[in-house]
Amino acid sequence: MRVSGQLAAKLKDLSVEVQHGVSLATRTSLEIGGTTDELIVHRYDRFAEVMSLLASERIPWRFLGGGTNVLIGDGELSWVALHLATAKPGTRVEGNFAHVDASADLGAMVTFCAKHDLGGMEGLIGVPGSVGGALRMNAGAYGTQIGPHVREVELYRVATGKVETLLGCDIHFDYRHTSFAANDVMLNVKLELPSKLYKEILSGIRMCNEKRRASQPLNQKSAGCIFKNPLGGSAGRMIDELGLKGFRVGDAMVSDRHANFFVNAGRATCADMMGLIGAVRERVRVAHGVELENEVIVWQN
Ligand SMILES: Cc1cc2nc3c(=O)[nH]c(=O)nc-3n(C[C@H](O)[C@H](O)[C@H](O)COP(=O)(O)OP(=O)(O)OC[C@H]3O[C@@H](n4cnc5c(N)ncnc54)[C@H](O)[C@@H]3O)c2cc1C
């Protein structure tokens, strides 16, 4: 979708940078995605005005964080990609609380907090992407999830057209699911983290990094796990038991290292990846009677 010159000028007044004709393949860890205009919001305090302008101009949008859990359609997209300018370091520590910008890199936030002797997030160290994406997905690994640490979230709500603050106790965090509305945009979060010595946190971080390196195809283009684990089961194990490691549709391939990671083994398109997801889901349904649910967020046109 192309933003007109007139609208781009109005957006510029609100400190929004417009990049025309961006291939979203360059913005996602799968390196798959069509083309659209990208709107980078530089001032959080003007976010509500930006959204009100987009609504009045009837511009459809999708909010893109680090792009590590999305599968985006091919070709010219019918929506713009909205993005918050990356904050560095984006984290401020106050006692046992960390105030973090949603655009901050999750891993950088974990190490920043560790240097201030705040732990509890070691398991999340290798989860790529932004803090906003981690909140939306309730990212988790090795027994740690971000949700239980959340005390407050500042977010823009399309339902009210306002920036509001939600208390952690009013947000429901579940396995890769949260109670945020689909079009809420997280701007900041306040986390409460336990005090821990830096060297102890560091040894936890190293252990998690080793486990990840031993089991995941970290040098290949992926979006992490494609499917959520069904209750009491493991999607990866089910796919592996069907001998599907290495199975491919076009250049989309089931990783031969971790069967729930589907990789772009060359020039995979969204259509290839959707074909692979559909074929694997069907094989698992027939063999195990289980309908696997996507963990990856799919945005087609
Ligand atoms: C190699 C690899 C390993 C991974 N391992 C794990 C793992 O162990 N555990 C795990 O949970 N995940 C894992 N993932 C998946 C992914 O990293 C997480 O889901 C991550 O939290 C997504 O963050 P993101 O910023 O990249 O989100 P994106 O992919 O950009 O977006 C994902 C969703 O979040 C929404 N979103 C992003 N930012 C915001 C915001 N500020 N406000 C509102 N909505 C927002 C988007 O609209 C979209 O719906 C892995 C991915 C890869 C590539």
- Atom index in ligand 1 nearest the CA of residue 186 equals 42
Residue 241: the pLDDT is 97
Kind and range of the H or E element at 19? strand 16-23
* Ligand 1 neighbourhood includes 124 CB (under 6 angstroms): no
Pairing of strands 16-23, 252-254: unpaired
C-beta separation of 141 from 124 below 8 A: yes
Distance, CA of 44 to CA of 188 (rounded, Å): 9
* Ligand 1 neighbourhood includes 129 CB (under 6 angstroms): yes
Residue 300 CA, ligand 1 centroid: distance in Å? 17
* Ligand 1 neighbourhood includes 70 CB (under 6 angstroms): yes
Q: Choose one of 127, 142, 187 to mutate for the ligand 1 pocket test, by most ligand atoms within 8 angstroms of C-beta.
A: 127
CA distances from 97 to 116, 119, 127, 255, 262 (A): 11, 11, 21, 39, 37
Burial 60-87 (b: 16+ CB within 10 A, else e): ebbbbbbbbbbbbbbeebeebbbbbeeb
* Ligand 1 neighbourhood includes 69 CB (under 6 angstroms): yes
CA distances from 226 to 47, 146, 240, 293, 300 (A): 31, 20, 14, 9, 16
* Ligand 1 neighbourhood includes 186 CB (under 6 angstroms): yes
Residue 66 CA, ligand 1 centroid: distance in Å? 7
Distance, CA of 75 to CA of 106 (rounded, Å): 30
Render 245-281 in DSSP notation, one character per residue. Answer: TT-EETTEEE-SS-TTBEEE-SS--HHHHHHHHHHHH
Distance, CA of 125 to CA of 127 (rounded, Å): 6
Residue 148: the pLDDT is 97
Identify the structural domains of the chain with CATH numbers, from first to last.
Answer: 5-84 (3.30.43.10), 91-215 (3.30.465.10), 235-299 (3.90.78.10)
Distance, CA of 65 to CA of 84 (rounded, Å): 8
Residue with CA nearest ligand 1 atom 40: 132
To 5 degrees, how large is the angle CA 120–CA 207–CA 128? 70
Residue 9: the pLDDT is 98
Residue 133 CA, ligand 1 centroid: distance in Å? 4
Residue 301: the pLDDT is 78
Q: CB neighbours of 144 closer than 8 A, spacing ≥ 6? A: 120, 121, 122, 123, 124
Q: Is the pTM of this model over 0.95?
A: yes
Residue with tokens 């799919």: 298
3-class SS of residue 149: helix
Residue 86: the pLDDT is 86
Residue 21 CA, ligand 1 centroid: distance in Å? 23
CA-based Rg of the chain, rounded to a whole angstrom?
20
What residue ranges of the chain have pLDDT lower than 50?
none
* Number of residues in the chain: 301
- Atom index in ligand 1 nearest the CA of residue 28 equals 29
Residue with CA nearest ligand 1 atom 45: 133
Residue 239 CA, ligand 1 centroid: distance in Å? 22
Residue with CA nearest ligand 1 atom 11: 139
> Other C-beta atoms within 10 Å of 182: how many?
7
Residue with CA nearest ligand 1 atom 21: 134
Distance, CA of 202 to CA of 111 (rounded, Å): 9
- Tokens in use for 132? 């906003």
- Atom index in ligand 1 nearest the CA of residue 218 equals 1
